[in-house]
Amino acid sequence: MKPYILDFAEKVKIINKKNYEYDYKLNLNVSNTGCKSKRPFIDSSDSDFEIVTKTKVSRESDDIDINIFEFSIKTRIKREEDYSNLELL
């Protein structure tokens, strides 16, 4: 028997081929067209833009990267506050 909520998990479509890349000089992502002139990806009408941002929309309230990033700190703070509850964390 599994929790109900897991019945509703759906596989995410993963975009394997990105047609943009980060440009350290401009500090933003540029279209990966092979042209010499660098064009910000967000200025393109590329449909991937929407897919990428909408996928992130699905995650917007719960950015897992941030959560992982901060998890250890929260755990540590808890540890210092309350040793007796450590096993419950």
Partner 1 sequence: MILFITNKEDLTIDFLINKLNRDNVNYFRLNTEDFPQNLGFNFNFKDNKFTIIDYIKNIEINIEDINSVYYRRPKLSEINFKRLNKGRKKFLLDEITYCFEGLYKLMRNKYWLNKIFAIREAENKMYQLLLAKEIGFRIPNSLITNSNSAHYFFNNEDEYIIKPIRTGYIDSIKSKELIFTNLFTKDQTYNLKRVKIFPNYFQEKVNKIADIRVTVVGNKIFSALIKSQEFEETKVDWRRNEEIPLQYEKIELPELIRKKCLKLNKILNLNFSTMDFALKKNKDYIFFEINPNGQWAWIEKKLKFNISQEIINLLTQKI
By CB under 8 A, name the one of 19, 32, 33, 49 that touches partner 1. 49
57 vs 82, beta carbon nearer partner 1: 57
Rounded CA separation 53/44 (Å): 14
Ranges within 53-72 binding partner 1 (CB under 8 A): 53-70, 72
By CB under 8 A, is residue 82 in contact with partner 1?
no
Ranges within 26-45 binding partner 1 (CB under 8 A): 26-29, 40-43
Rounded CA separation 20/33 (Å): 8
| Nearest CA-CA partner of 36 in 54, 53, 23, 51 | 23
Taking every pair of C-alpha atoms in the chain, what is the biggest distance, in angstroms?
61
One-letter identity of residue 9: A
Binding site for partner 1 (CB under 8 A): 1-6, 8-14, 20, 22, 24, 26-29, 40-43, 49-70, 72-73, 76
